[in-house]
Amino acid sequence: MTPPDLLEEAAAELAERLPYADIDQIAHACREGRAGLRALEAKAAGIAVRTACQRLRDHLTNDVDGRYAAGLLIGAAKARQTLRSKRGVDVVWTGPPSAVHTARLTTAVVSELIDSATTELLLVSYASYPPASLSTALASAATRGVEVSLLLEQQTDNPRFTGSTSFSRLPVTRLRWPVHRREPGAALHAKIIVVDRQVALIGSANLTGHAFEKNFECGILLRDADNARAIADHIDSLREAGVLTAAA
């Protein structure tokens, strides 16, 4: 392939994997050429953004203008947004890339889901060592009036659990599955995010930085209001029955 062809391929792949906010800042850096990408790489917190900067620097040769690269990125990202709005199911991955570019990064999907919430968010997880970006996004959601509910595993309810129950400073509703309402040895092992009872992400990834950017994880994003509502209603029903209770 010629350099422009390679750049177009890279732009399409990055637009598939990264949230629009990341693409936008990478495109802005592209307009400044290799120096701009190098500067963004140095300050970016996320592995995915740093890797994207490295990859694009290799394509910005004397034959390729940075503004052209920026235009490709923004164009591809907007096209992907349109396609996703019409597609009911997406596969979501964390882990090593492959030759198949039909899946999206977990961190990108979670960021977009939380930012899109207007009324309520439900997050269920076993472990929770959240990256700063997740805590910030949840705090922002709570500030704009979104009702955030967290159902997390607790060591008091599962002695084998050694993880964290973070988010202590967030104004959210905290839930637990009490030990006396479980079968012996049972664990709260589900990993779910439901947004506005319209969209749901179900998969293997806990609310941790490793799960979002390093581990080998897989999930399914459902843009299906019936199923998303059914998940949220199931949690509500367990709360009403006393199976789930308020956490301290």
pLDDT tens track, the chain, 248 positions: 445 678 888 888 888 778 788 889 999 999 988 899 999 999 887 788 889 999 898 888 766 678 888 999 999 888 877 766 666 788 899 988 777 766 678 988 898 899 999 999 999 999 988 888 888 899 999 999 999 999 999 999 999 998 766 777 788 999 999 999 999 999 999 999 999 999 999 999 999 999 998 899 999 999 999 999 999 999 999 999 999 999 87
Q: Token pair for residue 120?
A: 């309520």
Give the CA count within 13 Å in the CB-facing half-sphere of 23. Answer: 27
**Residue 221: beta bridge partners?**
90, 201
Report the pLDDT value the prediction gives residue 192, as an integer from 0 to 100.
98
Cα(76)–Cα(248) distance, integer angstroms: 45
β-strand 217-222 against 199-203: which pairing, if any? antiparallel
Report the pLDDT value the prediction gives residue 163, as an integer from 0 to 100.
74
Among the listed residues 88, 66, 87, the one whose alpha carbon sits nearest the alpha carbon of residue 11: 66
Report the pLDDT value the prediction gives residue 87, as an integer from 0 to 100.
63
The pTM of this model reads 0.69
